[in-house]
Amino acid sequence: MPSPHLPPTHRALMQHVYAQPLTVEQVPTPQISPGSAVLRIESAGVISYSRDVYDGTRRYPYPTPLVIGLHAVGRIVALGADAVALKIGMLVFFDSFIRARDDPSVVMLSGFSEVGKAHALMSGEWRDSTYAQFAKVPLENCHPLDEERLCGPPMDGGLGYSKEQLTWIGMALVAYGGLRTIGLQVGETVVVAPATGGFGGAGVLVALAMGAKVIAMGRNKEILDSLSKLSPRVRIVPLAGDAEHELEALTESGPVDAYLDMSPPTASNSTYRKTAIKALRNGGRISLMGGLSSDNDLPLFDIAAKNLTLQGKLMYDFHHIRDMIKLIEGGMLSLDPIKVAGKFGLEQWEEAFGVAAGMKYNEVTVLSGWGETD
């Protein structure tokens, strides 16, 4: 039975064969079922390596044909009969990290990757994602946003954010998950490396909002300089290929408390991880979030001798999402520094992937199935 008020078909960005070009198609609109919500997608996030995922470079597993996508901001247009808190018309953040209901250790990234053993999960009910006009998603992945507070004009007590800026929640959450998991405390000092990319830059902004001091490491001096202007609590350490000098600079004010690693695969052989770990105090903590492509040479003696905790982290925990939204709604984590690198229609997916690959640390690129006149 078709859901009321939904058109019979909608436009969606599809991939029919793994790693092959994408096409925009008119397909049947997703229909509501118990446990789900149908969202009208207002703004869906594209990340720096989206192109590398869909052209097969990263070899992320996912089933095809697939309506691709990722985290998004959308409005609820249909709700499963078992919903108790969500309401039609609410603006929500869609968390694309979907956990199997009968085994939360089985996870997938909607429209992006099966992550491990989630083939059945991603092949069935939650197959189609958010680069479309509508998407059917699990109820528990919809997180209500206080639209009046977040998007309202400052003269009425609002924060004046756009839907595009709000998609950055998906970036901030990853860094927040890593920092919460190692228990970053107010007043502590955390090294973020590399700090100049999308998720690393989010790490700097989120750690500041959590009350920490940040040492930002990276190669790009221009971006490091703009990070240092964010707050007197940011200190920068450029990567110059001299590990001894970097360690000296990191520990200038004494050993540091924590390290957030956000390395891309291209930095698999870089030495900054070792330096950052060596800079930690006794009992320091490491959040290892990078997508490294090879086993690494970590300073195991330091890890043992200084009682360090090495904590791997994929994404974030469920309860981190509500806490993160509270930080933003409360004004503790401002989205004012977040700029829109580009907003694209579904047909412009190639251009969107190109712009996203070159985004600055504080930028978002978004796709939307809705034109200005829809």
Ligand X SMILES: NC(=O)c1ccc[n+]([C@@H]2O[C@H](COP(=O)([O-])OP(=O)(O)OC[C@H]3O[C@@H](n4cnc5c(N)ncnc54)[C@H](OP(=O)(O)O)[C@@H]3O)[C@@H](O)[C@H]2O)c1
Nearer to ligand X, 111 or 194 (CB): 194
CB of 93 to ligand X, least distance (A): 16
Question: Which x/- pattern, by CB under 6 A, does the window 24-43 give for ligand X?
Answer: --------------------
Q: Does 271 bind ligand X (CB under 6 A)?
A: no
Structural contact between residues 128 and 30, judged by C-beta atoms closer than 8 angstroms: yes
Nearer to ligand X, 79 or 234 (CB): 234
Size of the site for ligand X (CB under 6 A): 26
| C-alpha–C-alpha distance, residues 293 and 287, integer Å | 17
Stretch that binds ligand X, among 3-11, 230-238, 308-316, 343-351 (CB under 6 A): 308-316
Nearer to ligand X, 264 or 284 (CB): 264
Element (DSSP H or E) covering residue 244:
helix 243-250
Report the side by side order of strands in the sheet with 280-288.
Answer: 234-238, 213-218, 189-193, 256-261, 280-288, 309-312
CB of 54 to ligand X, least distance (A): 15
Q: Does 115 bind ligand X (CB under 6 A)?
A: no
Q: Does 47 bind ligand X (CB under 6 A)?
A: yes
CB of 264 to ligand X, least distance (A): 3
List Cα–Cα distances, 306 to 184, 212, 267, 285, in angstroms.
Answer: 18, 22, 25, 10
298-334 burial, b at 16+ Cβ within 10 Å, e below that, comes to ebeeebeebebeeeebebbeeebbeebbebbeeeebe
Stretch that binds ligand X, among 159-167, 225-233, 266-274, 277-285 (CB under 6 A): 266-274
Backbone Cα Rg of the chain:
21
| C-alpha–C-alpha distance, residues 54 and 65, integer Å | 12
Q: Which of residues 184-223 bind ligand X (CB under 6 A)?
A: 194, 196-200, 218-220
CB of 241 to ligand X, least distance (A): 10
Interface with ligand X (CB under 6 A), residue from 63, 238, 291, 337:
291
Enter the tokens of residue 314: 């994929």
Interface with ligand X (CB under 6 A), residue from 230, 314, 340, 355:
314
CB neighbours of residue 1 within 10 Å? 5
Interface with ligand X (CB under 6 A), residue from 159, 260, 262, 276:
262
Q: Nearest CA to 71 among 119, 35, 108?
A: 108
- What percent of the residues of the chain are helix, what percent strand, and what percent coil, each to the nearest 5? 30, 30, 45
Residues in touch with ligand X (CB under 6 A): 47-49, 174, 194, 196-200, 218-220, 239, 262, 264-267, 270, 289-291, 313-315
